[in-house]
Amino acid sequence: LQVAVLGLGYIGLPTAAVIARSGAQVTGIDVSEQVVATVNSGKVHIEEIDLDGLVSGVVARGNLRASTQIVTADVFVIAVPTPFDADHAPNIGYVLQAATNVAAALKRGDLVIVESTCPVGTTEKVRDLLAALRPDLSMPGIEGHAGIADISIAYCPERVLPGRILVELIDNDRVIGGITPRCARKALQFYRRFVRGACVTTTARAAEMTKLTENAFRDVNIAFANELSVVADNLGIDVWEVIRLANRHPRVNILSPGPGVGGHCIAVDPWFLVHGDPANTPLIRTAREVNDAKVAYTIGRAEALIETNPGVPVACLGLAFKANIDDFRESPALAVAAALARRFGERVQVCEPYAAALPAAFDGTGAGLIDIDTALAACPILIVLVDHDVFRSVPLDERRTKQVLDTRGIWPDQPRAHPAAEPLRLAS
């Protein structure tokens, strides 16, 4: 079986490697010559547990190679990004460009799968584009067209969690949405090669909405926790204790507040639902706004703490968008730390074990990058922004005398810092 995976990013590369391990001949296609060269040398350009060993193995065995050029294949998997534009309108340009490249290589009997997160209706647009570019091939689900289509097209969203990608790629259930039931069956047979979880079939449109729904669900639930954290702050109550206690109720399961919501999925995908039906999505939109506003709120709280201790060095613990990964995209921790660095300059030190150097957002601020030992030795104020294990494991003895703003609740035994003089509001 020949498989082409378009896009060798956080999803595409692990997916290509796992398919290659199942015995298929896989070509990973990427626009970046550097990414292609890295993969062809058996190396990886992204940090993900066990990915380096897997990629070097399948490249060495000749099951995976990378190219900037499209190749002929039996199955095409599109795993390119879908960002949003300034007004939160989804941008499916990369998906359509990938489909255009696929069109040139298509032959009768091929299967085209879209894995990128997409607004509802995108897979049909891909189908229409392929039909326009390849009038010599019949496409599925087109009215007036009878018989078995030459090409099968399906939408099958990835649902893996960064940090657990290789495990979840195999163990998670998959939702497989066909343009027609036959397309879904064909895609199901493909995923069965390497997925251990259940593979459930539906329509392409339902599968598209399912993906957006999963991430909107999480966003709304985190927004609830973030809203509670502000209310609890203003009441002088420890929100973590309240959540622990409330979660003892058999039907309550509140997520964790934090400095905001980051990453390239949860902070993006809910907008695709809102944009598709603005009049009927006030809850999803408000959740997005609540989570975004938590960043400014956190900056305000940190500034209040830092200002009450003039001249004292501050350590910001963490830049990543969540625990134990090196991914800083859309990271609220980075936004908070950079804002503090711009305001307080060289008083601010950043401790991020997953960074080799400070990102460009810190250029010219005077802030420095230090390790956790130095932070604990030199900085009386600690702003916890990411719940990396290495921070979580610092015992009370090493931080008892610190002024701490713990936005992740990693140190429940920490003596409380001075509360802010004025109640702060979560305003957008």
Identify which range of 46-54, 211-219, 351-359, 369-377 contacts ligand SAJ by CB under 6 A: 211-219
> Site map for ligand SAJ, 273-312, x if CB under 6 A?
----------------------------------------
Q: Does 255 bind ligand SAJ (CB under 6 A)?
A: yes
Selected catalytic residue, list 265, 316, 351, 379: 265
Report the alpha-carbon distance of residue 341 to residue 316 in Å, rounded: 9
Longest dimension (CA), the chain: 77
Q: Could you give the C-alpha distances from 45 to 18, 32, 52, 62, 267, in angstroms and in order?
A: 16, 11, 9, 19, 24
Return the closest-CA partner of residue 62 out of 40, 44, 43, 30: 40
Check if 156 is active-site.
no
| Least separation in angstroms between CB 164 and ligand SAJ | 9
Residue 210 interacts with ligand SAJ (CB under 6 A)?
A: no
- Does residue 2 contact residue 70 with C-beta atoms inside 8 Å? no
Phi, psi of 67 (to 5 degrees): -155, 155
Cα separation, 402 vs 422, in Å, equals 22
Q: Does 214 engage in binding with ligand SAJ (CB under 6 A)? A: yes
Q: Would you say 102 or 334 has its CB closer to ligand SAJ?
A: 334
- Verify binding: residue 261, ligand SAJ, rule CB under 6 A: yes
Return the residue of 12, 14, 28, 262 that touches ligand SAJ, per CB under 6 A.
Answer: 262
Question: Looking only at residues 139 through 168 of this chain, which bind ligand SAJ when binding is defined by CB under 6 A?
Answer: 158-162
Active-site residue, 211 included: yes
Q: Is 328 in the site for ligand SAJ (CB under 6 A)?
A: no
Burial 9-44 (b: 16+ CB within 10 A, else e): bbbbbbbbbbbbbbebbbbbbbeeeebbebbeeeeb
Work out whether 77 is an interface residue with ligand SAJ (CB under 6 A): no
- 321 scored as a contact of ligand SAJ (CB under 6 A): yes
Cα radius of gyration (the chain): 24
69-77, 228-236, 260-268, 367-375 -> range binding ligand SAJ (CB under 6 A)? 260-268
Among 9, 258, 313, 409, binds ligand SAJ (CB under 6 A): 258
One-letter amino acid of 13:
L
Among the listed residues 183, 199, 211, 351, the single catalytic one is: 211
Q: How far is the CB of 257 from ligand SAJ (least distance, A)?
A: 6
Minimum distance from residue 217 beta carbon to ligand SAJ (Å) = 6
What is the dihedral sign for C-alpha 246, 428, 215, 407? negative
Structure tokens at 17: 């490697």
Q: Are strands 152-155 and 174-178 parallel, antiparallel or unpaired?
A: antiparallel
Q: Enter the tokens of residue 263.
A: 């990453």
Query: What is the distance between the alpha carbons of residues 182 and 117, in angstroms, rounded to a whole number?
Result: 22
How is residue 46 annotated by DSSP?
S
The verdict on 218 binding ligand SAJ (CB under 6 A) reads: yes
- Whole-number Å distance between alpha carbons of 403 and 419: 11
Instruction: Give dist(CA 394, CA 4) in Å, integer.
Output: 46
Decide if residue 342 touches ligand SAJ (CB under 6 A): no
Which residue lies nearer to ligand SAJ by CB, 99 or 319? Answer: 319
Minimum gap (Å) between residue 266 Cβ and ligand SAJ: 4
Residue nearer to ligand SAJ on the CB measure, 7 or 263: 263
Q: Is 222 in the site for ligand SAJ (CB under 6 A)?
A: yes
322 touches ligand SAJ by CB under 6 A: yes
282-307 vs 269-276: helix crossing angle, rounded to 10: 140
120 near ligand SAJ (CB under 6 A): no
Asked if 14 interacts with ligand SAJ (CB under 6 A), we say no
Determine if 362 is a binding residue for ligand SAJ (CB under 6 A): no
What does each C-alpha distance from 280 to 276, 285, 401 come to in angstroms?
Answer: 9, 10, 50
266 touches ligand SAJ by CB under 6 A: yes
Q: Which amino acid is at 382?
A: L
Q: Is 265 in the site for ligand SAJ (CB under 6 A)?
A: yes
Grouping H, G, I as helix, E, B as strand and the rest as coil, residue 383 is strand
- Under the rule (CB under 6 A), what is the footprint of ligand SAJ? 117, 158-162, 214-215, 218, 222, 255-256, 258, 261-263, 265-266, 321-322
Q: Which residues are catalytic?
A: 211, 265
